[in-house]
Amino acid sequence: MNTKIHGIFTPHIVPLQANGEIDEPELRRYVDWLIEKGVHGLYPNGSTGEFTRFTAEERRRVVKVVCEQAAGRVPVLAGAAEANVRETLIACETYAGYGARAVAIVSPFYYKLCPESVYAYFREIALNSPIDVTLYNIPMFASPIDVPTIKRLAEFERVVGIKDSSGDVAFMMRMMSAVRPLRPDFVFLTGWDAVLVPMLLIGCDGGTNATCGVVPELTRKMYDLTRSGQIAEAMQLQFRLLELFDAMLYSADFPEGFRAAVELRGFKVGRSRQPQTDKQQIDYFALQNVLRCILSDFGYVDAPAGGCPPRTGDIDQDRVSHIAATVLETLRQRGVI
Amino acid sequence: MNTKIHGIFTPHIVPLQANGEIDEPELRRYVDWLIEKGVHGLYPNGSTGEFTRFTAEERRRVVKVVCEQAAGRVPVLAGAAEANVRETLIACETYAGYGARAVAIVSPFYYKLCPESVYAYFREIALNSPIDVTLYNIPMFASPIDVPTIKRLAEFERVVGIKDSSGDVAFMMRMMSAVRPLRPDFVFLTGWDAVLVPMLLIGCDGGTNATCGVVPELTRKMYDLTRSGQIAEAMQLQFRLLELFDAMLYSADFPEGFRAAVELRGFKVGRSRQPQTDKQQIDYFALQNVLRCILSDFGYVDAPAGGCPPRTGDIDQDRVSHIAATVLETLRQRGVI
Amino acid sequence: MNTKIHGIFTPHIVPLQANGEIDEPELRRYVDWLIEKGVHGLYPNGSTGEFTRFTAEERRRVVKVVCEQAAGRVPVLAGAAEANVRETLIACETYAGYGARAVAIVSPFYYKLCPESVYAYFREIALNSPIDVTLYNIPMFASPIDVPTIKRLAEFERVVGIKDSSGDVAFMMRMMSAVRPLRPDFVFLTGWDAVLVPMLLIGCDGGTNATCGVVPELTRKMYDLTRSGQIAEAMQLQFRLLELFDAMLYSADFPEGFRAAVELRGFKVGRSRQPQTDKQQIDYFALQNVLRCILSDFGYVDAPAGGCPPRTGDIDQDRVSHIAATVLETLRQRGVI
Amino acid sequence: MNTKIHGIFTPHIVPLQANGEIDEPELRRYVDWLIEKGVHGLYPNGSTGEFTRFTAEERRRVVKVVCEQAAGRVPVLAGAAEANVRETLIACETYAGYGARAVAIVSPFYYKLCPESVYAYFREIALNSPIDVTLYNIPMFASPIDVPTIKRLAEFERVVGIKDSSGDVAFMMRMMSAVRPLRPDFVFLTGWDAVLVPMLLIGCDGGTNATCGVVPELTRKMYDLTRSGQIAEAMQLQFRLLELFDAMLYSADFPEGFRAAVELRGFKVGRSRQPQTDKQQIDYFALQNVLRCILSDFGYVDAPAGGCPPRTGDIDQDRVSHIAATVLETLRQRGVI
């Protein structure tokens, strides 16, 4: 029998080659690194993995590579949403065959569906999937899954949990209150790194956190500290993680900031499939400089040659602009632009 | 040289067989009917056409069938958005080969992109597309395209117009003010049927209106009346269209209400790929009864056997509930449920 | 018997003295000017009149002054919303005594009330007011009044109309469809200057437009042209009004941009009761420079000494910044800052 | 010198007589009861206290009565927002004279101000207030106070803290990160009862929680348990409080559900100044029945005569409807309706 899903799963980015194709060797190297750093599981085809920017074939290849490379060392939660229920079910079967522990299926997007339609969609999947299903609620991008709908869906044995990226602590508690009397084993994972420790404290089983793909050591430590009751220490790290998270999240369109940070950890991520203007590429380097400063405080990377400004505990909005100007000047001097 | 796009284009639904496959013969029959009823153009793979619920192959097949069947009688504006720029450009080439007049490309969705990213995305397409491109702004579903971005994109010759489904009359005027001094030929189409006549009066070249797939005679007449200065008559029809539009739009998840109405016009639309609960299927029949009443007022279909309530000029919120109860009772008597 | 309310009413600003008190003589002079320029009515205590920033006594004084000065030349629609129904009814009685034609009552604000509560609030007022009541819907600031609620409220004879500042043309049509079968005499006024002509074309009786307090000649002309069927001419002015409206609305917190423009027309408006930082005061002068350029195109004011940039038909976002810099430099040279 | 504000402050309701006037004796009795039950402080003229529905004179009277009755037993945080800065400063002086510990000033409402204007408003108050000021951020009702603005305002010594009712745990952490390096003594209070314990765990000094006016024993216990590190016990109560909070918050327009509950604790609250329809009054009794069930579980009140349904840990949406029907039937049998 399958063990209950728990811990910090990594919704990882997908490295790309110069020609835009998936960089499979680098993806494998990245998976190894994440596992060595202590992640509890892997989560290909998440929002961080830009699943919508790949073809159906490519999404399958990503899961295949990750399952192969993980090779049972950690469980794989595979994003399986496709264009419609039939295609999604084919992906479920395929990923079951690859050895995934479960699939994660985002609520229907583009169209904003009413709760009854969201229920009908997941019900159809729950009745036919050969593999455990976790619901994926991300109201900023997809049709929201509300509490009554979650409660109704928890009646299906195949639905084993939910990943919620709303970041709303009260909403998470409402889900728990609604579902746990019926399904004490139901798994609650938070996708909002900014409140990982508070979410664990209120009873979450773990998280699927993009930040984990950047600083897996840190998120693992936060998880372990919280579990062992060292809350003050855990919260101290949470405040520091928040600075990193906000810098990655709000300085560029998601998930570009996370890709910039993974690159600093020593991986070739390549250019995004979403085109960028020259201005955005300059911003990218400027952001990396900021991220390098934050990461160097943790000792994960070396500080930039020019040094870092003193930390005041909050993200200085002017800092990015300042460094952007510096980078721009440097690029000009070198004749790059 | 290509003539300027104008008039009412139909973002049509796609009929499905019982097994969920595209019903090609019915689609061809529907295309013929639309052209005979006077639509100025066809628009496959729009939001009404549920493009996100088809595979890339199916989307191509839909455009192929529509172009073949239109056979030059009316221009085809083909929805060409795919998973990423490269795939989208392949679709552009393909649809050019099929004889489409232009492609319509929705702003990136799922991720909510900043204006600079929206610009970068369309810029890449504008620079490489072998066929004219119309932007598609639908802020309720996709990343918004703001006025400065439209102005920047209008600098590319390949970008020939915009379809806007915001329904915001002032926003349409702002776009016109920004773009026309640079590109007097730029095409403005409204996708918000509720204000078709006002949009034509402020200077729109036409519309891409889902309602046109249900009552093509009516939208054509509204267009002709407005163009010939018979505004009072046009507005009278606009008020009646609004009742129909609201009933289709707000009584079910889009575009299910439009599919229900097309069925009343004599086409086998089949079940949606988005699953429905039993409750929703009952609601579907109830809605069809309401729509039958509205359409019978125009003389397009026969009134329901049980007759229609008197019209008060507005959608009575209780009417759907009332008819739902009647339908439910009937279905029970027949042992259907 | 009272005649039906129609035409363009001015929700005017309130001039203040240097000590923050109401500048009564300037208010009287402003009222005279507005009437001479052709406004159909006056609307004290609107959002433009910053009613929430005055005490109850001051609000009364404003209406008293306006009614006295209008002296029956044009009707007065007096904003009468107070802290609760009892206080509001006292204001209704008072304004009836001052000779106001009707009161305008904004939907409850601060708390966001459900439709049933909005209904209960206006019902109580409708049952007890000694003067005609117009509802005031401004969903960006106050609890929205939805279509079913308007329909229910139209059953009270005392409720004679609605002023809607949503700017949503389709919503206005929905209200008309719901109410007119029951109350053919119900008055519909738009408070969204950006779409004044389209709103008149769909059947509005007039507007309560802040822009009217700045360019009363222009809004009057737009009204007259539309009423006499000269739609192309009216729309041409509408596009120009839109530029002015947007500049006033989006360059400062409402209604500061309108106060800046009224000052250009020759009235001492004084400093707002809402404090401003030094930066905002510089922005205020910069905005006035932009507004001076727009207004000089109409011939209402002289162009700035330094001249104006060529007009491209849209508000150039850089223009404000540019002029801001110029103003800043000038102020520095003069030792002001 | 003043001690740092901390603990749970009660933003209490104001009892009204049958004629709508403030019921002063009942307010005094309520204040005594709250202090006896262990609240750390009182907060008159909060949103719960419906400050916008009283006149300026009445708001003053409420604070006077509360300060007198508290008589130094607990500190008073007095809501002091008035129509404009001058009026607000007069209230600040008055409340200082009454012996209030500090004032709480909500961000400007009705108009949605930009951050620079919010700063200018509070700056003016901070420079002139004779009493400590706490900012009050409640973005669902008033102009939001963002992190950079809080940081700027924390430079004024008179600004001693913030009450935040956003309920966003990450936002609270962001404020702490921004302000604490400059002002280690700055006070952070949460106004979102649903997450009181998590907010205390991340470092809040306390809360101003409407629920405290209903179950002061419970919120005090939650505070004490959290402070003494008994987190599991505190969270267990938090989940139960959430059920009560949601029932009071979402079953009626705020703060009517809280008034209904205070009545169950034995106080005559009277009818709200916001009128109610018959339907709403029936809903009020139905809601009280639900609240009675929840409160009886805690042992604070007796269970209803007809008993309570078994608790499943979540608010059953059908329960209110069910009880509403029962109440309706009872009222009909008694000839009340």
Does the beta-carbon distance from B167 to C168 stay under 8 Å? yes
Query: Which chains reach chain B with 3 or more Cβ–Cβ distances below 8 angstroms?
Result: A, C
Residue pointed to by tokens 């604000």: C109
Q: Structure tokens of D27?
A: 């307010």
What pLDDT is attached to residue B313? Answer: 47
Name the band, by pLDDT with cuts 50, 70 and 90, for residue C161: very high
- CB contacts of C239 in chain B (<8 Å) are 173, 176-177
* Alpha carbon distances (Å) from C134 to C44, C164, C197, C260: 14, 10, 21, 29
Is A167 touching D (CB cutoff 8 A)?
yes
Question: Can you give chain A as a three-state secondary structure string?
Answer: CCCCCCEEEECCCCCECCCCCECHHHHHHHHHHHHHCCCCEECCCCCCCCHHHCCHHHHHHHHHHHHHHHCCCCCEEEECCCCCHHHHHHHHHHHHHHCCCEEEEECCECCCCCHHHHHHHHHHHHHHCCCCEEEEECCCCECCCCHHHHHHHCCCCCEEEEEECCCCHHHHHHHHHHHCCCCCCCEEEECCHHHHHHHHHHCCCEEECHHHHCCHHHHHHHHHHHHCCCHHHHHHHHHHHHHHHHHHHHCCCCCHHHHHHHHHCCCCCCCCCCCCCHHHHHHHHHHHHHHHHHHHHHCCCCCCCCCCCCCCCCCCHHHHHHHHHHHHHHHHHCCCC
Task: Return the residue of B nearest to C194 by Cα.
Answer: B170
pLDDT at C72 over 80: yes
B30 as an active site residue: the answer is: no
Per-residue model confidence as pLDDT tens digits over C281-304: 999 999 999 999 999 999 999 998
Note the helical H segments in D113-272: 115-128, 147-153, 169-179, 196-202, 216-227, 231-250, 256-264
What is the rounded average pLDDT of the residues B157-170? 98
Tally of CA atoms within 13 A in the half-sphere of C240 that contains its CB:
19
Is D140 touching C (CB cutoff 8 A)?
yes
- CB contacts of C201 in chain B (<8 Å) are 198, 201, 231, 235
* Alpha carbon distances (Å) from A149 to A76, A156, B276: 26, 12, 14
Strand ranges inside chain B, DSSP E: 7-10, 41-42, 77-79, 102-106, 133-137, 159-164, 187-190, 206-208
pLDDT at B280 over 80: yes
pLDDT at D185 over 90: yes
- CB contacts of C230 in chain B (<8 Å) are none
- CB contacts of C253 in chain D (<8 Å) are 111, 113-114, 117
CB atoms near residue D267 (< 10 Å)? 18
Shortest alpha-carbon distance between residue C195 and chain B (Å): 6
Question: By mean pLDDT, which of C146-160, D26-40, D303-317 is the weakest?
Answer: D303-317
pLDDT at D263 over 80: yes
Q: Which amino acid, residue D45?
A: N
Is D297 touching A (CB cutoff 8 A)?
no
Contacts across the A-B interface (CB distance below 8 Å): 105
Q: Structure tokens of A256?
A: 């570009």
What pLDDT is attached to residue C305? Answer: 85
Shortest alpha-carbon distance between residue C202 and chain B (Å): 7
What is the rounded average pLDDT of the residues C200-220? 98
Per-residue model confidence as pLDDT tens digits over A49-67: 999 999 999 999 999 999 9
Nearest to C253 among D53, D117, D140 (CB): D117
- CB contacts of C124 in chain D (<8 Å) are 275
What is the rounded average pLDDT of the residues C252-280? 97
Q: Which residues of D are catalytic?
A: 136, 163
What pLDDT is attached to residue A93? Answer: 98
pLDDT at B95 over 80: yes
Does the beta-carbon distance from B314 to C203 stay under 8 Å? no
Residue spans of the domains in chain D: they are: 7-333
Residue of A87, A272, A274 to mutate, interface with B, max B Cβ within 10 Å: A274
What pLDDT is attached to residue B251? Answer: 93
Which A positions 192-211 lie with beta carbon below 8 A of chain D? 192, 194-195, 198, 201-203
What is the rounded average pLDDT of the residues C92-105? 98
A119 as an active site residue: the answer is: no
Shortest alpha-carbon distance between residue D114 and chain C (Å): 7
Name the band, by pLDDT with cuts 50, 70 and 90, for residue C314: very low
Name the band, by pLDDT with cuts 50, 70 and 90, for residue C312: low
Which C positions 55-84 lie with beta carbon below 8 A of chain D? 55-56, 83-84
pLDDT at A313 over 80: no
Q: Which amino acid, residue B255?
A: P
Does the beta-carbon distance from C181 to B238 stay under 8 Å? no
What pLDDT is attached to residue A332? Answer: 55
What pLDDT is attached to residue A276? Answer: 96
What pLDDT is attached to residue C18? Answer: 96
Q: Structure tokens of B63?
A: 């455009």
What pLDDT is attached to residue D336? Answer: 44
What is the rounded average pLDDT of the residues B124-149? 98
Question: Residue B109 has what DSSP assignment?
Answer: B
B322 vs C179 pLDDT, higher one: C179
Looking at domain C7-333, its CATH class is: alpha beta
pLDDT at D316 over 90: no
Which B positions 229-258 lie with beta carbon below 8 A of chain A? 253-254
Query: Which chains reach chain D with 3 or more Cβ–Cβ distances below 8 angstroms?
Result: A, C
Query: Which chains reach chain C with 3 or more Cβ–Cβ distances below 8 angstroms?
Result: B, D
Helix axes A317-333, A278-298, angle to 10 degrees: 120
Name the band, by pLDDT with cuts 50, 70 and 90, for residue C329: low
pLDDT at C75 over 60: yes
pLDDT at D58 over 90: yes
What pLDDT is attached to residue D2? Answer: 76
* Mean pLDDT (chain A, rounded): 93
Task: Return the residue of D nearest to C55 by Cα.
Answer: D83
Per-residue model confidence as pLDDT tens digits over D69-127: 999 999 999 999 999 999 999 999 999 999 999 999 999 999 999 999 999 999 999 99
- CB contacts of D259 in chain C (<8 Å) are none
Task: Return the residue of D nearest to A173 by Cα.
Answer: D239
Does the beta-carbon distance from D167 to A170 stay under 8 Å? yes
pLDDT at A140 over 50: yes
Task: Return the residue of D nearest to A181 by Cα.
Answer: D312
Task: Return the residue of D nearest to C20 by Cα.
Answer: D86
pLDDT at A212 over 70: yes
Q: Structure tokens of D272?
A: 């709200």
What pLDDT is attached to residue A333? Answer: 58
Residue pointed to by tokens 């579903």: B141
Percent of chain B scoring above 90 in pLDDT:
89
What pLDDT is attached to residue A312? Answer: 56
- CB contacts of C20 in chain D (<8 Å) are 86
Nearest-10 Cα torsion for A213, A219, A221, A224: -120
Q: Which residues of C are catalytic?
A: 136, 163
What pLDDT is attached to residue C187? Answer: 98
Most confident of A110-114, B317-321, B322-326: A110-114
Is D317 touching A (CB cutoff 8 A)?
yes
* Mean pLDDT (chain C, rounded): 93
C240 vs B316 pLDDT, higher one: C240
**pTM exceeding 0.90:** yes
pLDDT at C333 over 90: no
Per-residue model confidence as pLDDT tens digits over D118-171: 999 999 999 999 999 999 999 999 999 999 999 999 999 999 999 999 999 999
Q: Which amino acid, residue D296?
A: S
What totals of helices (H) and strands (E) does chain C contain, helices first? 12, 8
